[in-house]
A and B are shown apart, each in its own frame.
Chain A
Amino acid sequence: MTQGPRFWRSIDQRYNLEGVKCGNCGQAIFPARTLCPTCRHLSVGKLAPFQMSGAGTVESFTVVHSPPNGFELQAPYVMAIVKLAEGPKLTAQIVDVDNADMRVGMPVHKVFRRINQDGEGGVIHYGYKFSARPVRGQGAKGQAPMPVEGPRGSHRSPGAPGRLG
């Protein structure tokens, strides 16, 4: 269900949290859109790639006990709506946290992880999750993004998602 070119097309966004910035009104947009929702036609040709820092806070969350296909081995896992420091909001898993410690408003930062797999031996999808582990040297309120960690050497080769085995 999650296979196919439409996921490869958005690989920079999924891997690196790359959005766009509207050259007309200045707002950061994630994921990238064809038009800025504020400026619409005035934004045509003015949406430039923009790297989100990866810092954010939890707006709300849940612990998923009934997972969809490809997530069975991860359940129960935390899903959250994260508000990025730059403004956009997104839906992602929260990791490095005891489920019972989840709180609205807690700071999190982007990490690069395996998202799911299309069946046994199927395509593995990678992308962002958010970690609740405090960033070292920044105290509990760390806002700086963690360095991206991922499958070695593979995360910049769109079109060739890894296979198990």
Chain B
Amino acid sequence: MRPVAVIGVGMTKFGELWEKSFRQLVAEAGLEAVRDAGIPGEKIDAMYVGSMSAGRLIGQEHLGPLAVDEAGLAHTHMPSVRVEAADASGGAAFRQALLAVASGAHDVAVVGGAEKMTDVIDQEQINTLATAADQEWEAFFGATYPSLWAMMAQKHMHDYGTTREQLAMVAVKNHLHGSMNSKAAYGSVIDAKTVLGSPMVSDPLRLFDSASNVDGAAAVVIADLETAKRLNPHPVLIKGSGSATDTLALHDRHSLTELAATRIAAERAYKMAGLKPADMQFAEVHDCFTIAEVMAIEDLGFVKKGEGGKAVESGMTGLKGKLPVNPSGGLKARGHPPGATGIAQIAELVWQLRGTAGQRQVQGAKRGLAHNVGGSGASAYVHILEGL
């Protein structure tokens, strides 16, 4: 496999974008990424689109050609396909594009991720998210997507003494980071009292422990390193990529306090990169709920199992800490359009590694890791990027 780099990134503002359609969002993010790469559309060999549930949410499938068409590139007849892995669809699409370029099948590919959540009512959002769980053996009995993470939180607190306050600190930190990100859905700073006083969703998780599902799209342009260097002055190298799956139902897993898919995807990515957790200067992790970030920093190898809550409390994961986690604001403050999240994470890595992240810039960032999870952890994608 040949080395591959990211040469362009783009992202719409995330949020309740009533005035914008799915296809407008896709085109807007794609255009920004291609402009950032500085290449003409005709240079693109293939497209990949990550989306969790456009069929349910906007009644539209067949998103591969939709993206090419909306970009005004139908005349190129380029191959384009939609990739689905629940809310890891973005990470999954990125990896498929990476494999295609690394293999030599394509030289330049665009990967987009998008979701339009707010065209449906809250109840339909709840039902849609539950489709990532086991419909017949979890959802049928009344389990919701938050309830699965809540059971992980309950067990983590039971086994390791992780506290309610530590979970709240994840949300507080990510909102602080998000307040420095003009594209984040939620720009306001919150305190622990706001989190602990917010409505209960699924005990012990409250509304402010949860990432909100919003509208948004993100896109990146990747190319083999040789082509990348020719086309763009600031390529960011993709050093490692790992993916893993696990049982669809949470109850079938050996442990409720780790995501084995995350741990194994990370091991695969570190191995490919020839790097270890300590070689990362920052990470964008999948904080769909506060507990998910606590478990992620453990499963990614940044701290020992059970010490994630204490690590957050110590300030280690803050912007000025030893390992800033979610400098973008994460899913919590940036907002979580499921299909777009994995690509938005890659975009943040690129901005940080180019040193253009502004107020939220991680000082001395040479390498960063992106971590995208599907559902309750049946899919996980980990990517490691390095500035050149």
Contact = CB atoms under 8 A, between A and B. Distances in A.
Interface stretch (A39-47, A90-98, A147-155): A90-98
Contact of A91 (B137, B158, B200): B137
Given A91-B141, A104-B154, A81 B147 contact: no
Contacts of A79: 141-143, 147, 151, 202
A68 B139 contact: yes
Interface string B136-164: 11111111101100111111001000000
B152 A68 contact: no
A121 B245 CA distance: 39
Contacts of B142: 64, 67-68, 71, 74, 77, 79, 93, 115-116
A61 B130 CA distance: 17
A2 B151 contact: no
A74 B385 CA distance: 47
Contact of B144 (A10, A68, A115, A125): A68
Nearest to B152: A60
Interface string B156-188: 001000000000000000000000000000000
B146 A66 contact: yes
Contacts of B201: 65-66
Counting chain B residues whose Cβ lies within 8 A of the other chain, the interface size class is 35 or more
A118 to B, nearest CB: 11
Contacts of A91: 134, 137-138, 141, 143, 249-251
Contacts of A80: 151
Given A65-B201, A81-B151, A104 B158 contact: yes
A40 to B, nearest CB: 15
B21 interface: no
B123 A2 contact: no
A107 interface: no
B251 A90 contact: yes
B140 A89 contact: no
A91, A93, A99, A116 interface centre (most CB from chain B within 10 Å): A91
B132 to A, nearest CB: 13
Contact of A64 (B123, B127, B202): B202
A89 B247 CA distance: 12
Contacts of A93: 141-142
Nearest to B150: A62
B200 A63 contact: yes
A104 B256 CA distance: 12
A74 B152 CA distance: 22
Nearest to B247: A37
B134, B137, B203 interface centre (most CB from chain A within 10 Å): B203
B210 to A, nearest CB: 9
Interface residues of A, number: 38
A127 interface: yes
A89 B123 CA distance: 28
Interface in A5-25: 6-7, 10, 14
A63 to B, nearest CB: 4
A1 interface: yes
A115 B152 CA distance: 23
B144 A89 contact: no
B295 to A, nearest CB: 13
A115 B155 CA distance: 25
B126 interface: yes
A7 B201 CA distance: 27
A3 B154 CA distance: 31
Contact of B251 (A1, A65, A89, A104): A89
A104 to B, nearest CB: 5
B140 to A, nearest CB: 6
A66 B158 contact: no
A7 B137 contact: no
Interface in B184-208: 199-205
A67 B144 contact: yes
24 contacts: A7-B136, A7-B140, A14-B140, A31-B137, A60-B152, A60-B154, A62-B154, A63-B203, A64-B144, A64-B146, A64-B147, A66-B202, A68-B139, A69-B127, A76-B200, A79-B142, A79-B143, A81-B151, A91-B143, A91-B249, A93-B141, A115-B140, A115-B141, A125-B140
Instruction: Give the 5 A-B residue pairs with the shortest CB-CB distance, closest first.
Output: A62-B150, A63-B203, A60-B155, A60-B151, A89-B251
